Amino acid sequence: MAPLHQVGTRQAVEAAARKTPDGKYYVSATDENVLIPVSKQYEDAILNLPKSADGKYYLGADGARYPVDPTYHLGHVGGQEWWRIRDTAIQQHWTRQQLIEYCNRPELYQLEDAPGNLSHAFELPREAG
C-alpha cells in the first residue's frame, strides 16, 4: 500500500485541479465529461438523474456523468503509477522516509473519479520484459 499523503500534498493537487466555471465541480483528469462535486455531496437535481447501466454514474442530459460516489480519488499521473514507484524504490533501496518524501510530490497526482481510478484503465502499460 502506498504511503499516506500529507495534507499539503492533497491541497496542492486540489488547487491545481480543473473546475467547472461555477466552481462546483472538479473535472476528472481522465475524462472531461465526469464531474466530481467539490463539496463531496450532490444536490437533489443530480441525485434524481438516471444512472448508468453499471450503476456507477448519474447521467446528465448534457452528456455529463456524475460518479455515484461523490468523493474524488487522488489518481497517479500516467507513468507515475504506484507499482512503478514501488518497483523503483525497491530497486534503488530507498528508505521508508525517502519513499514517503517522493510520494508526497503533488505533481505525481491528479483528481479522478473513483470508478475511473479503480479501473486502472488510464495507466500506462507495463513494458514487456
> Residue 80 has what pLDDT?
86
User: Is it the case that residue 112 has pLDDT exceeding 60?
Assistant: yes
pLDDT score of 7 = 80
Q: pTM for the complete prediction?
A: 0.82
pLDDT digits (tens, 9 = 90+) for 38-89: 999 999 999 999 999 999 999 999 999 999 999 999 888 888 888 899 999 9
Between 88 and 4, name the one with better pLDDT: 88
Calculate the alpha carbon distances from 4 to 8, 11, 78 in Å.
Answer: 12, 14, 20
Residue appearing with cell numbers 502506498: 2
Q: Give me the residue spans of the domains in the chain.
A: 7-119
Q: State the number of CA atoms in the 13 A half-sphere of 84 facing the CB.
A: 12
